[in-house]
Each structure stands twice: as C-alpha cells, then as structure tokens.
Amino acid sequence: EPHGIFPRILGHEAAG
C-alpha cells in the first residue's frame, strides 16, 4: 500500500 507501508518505514510517500 503506497500510503500505508512505505510512508511508515521511510517516513514519506516514496511509493507514490
């Protein structure tokens, strides 16, 4: 999930 997993790990919306 672009606004679920990556933002939590990386700290920003790097997936989208």
pTM of the model: 0.07
C-alpha dist (Å) from residue 9 to 5, 16: 6, 14
Three-state SS string over the chain comes to CCCCCHHHHHCCCCCC
pLDDT for res 1: 56
pLDDT for res 3: 64
pLDDT for res 2: 59
- pLDDT tens digit sequence for 1-16: 556 676 777 766 555 5
pLDDT for res 5: 72
Q: Are 10 and 2 spatial neighbours (Cβ–Cβ below 8 Å)? A: no
**Residue 6: what are its φ and ψ, rounded to 5°?**
-60, -45
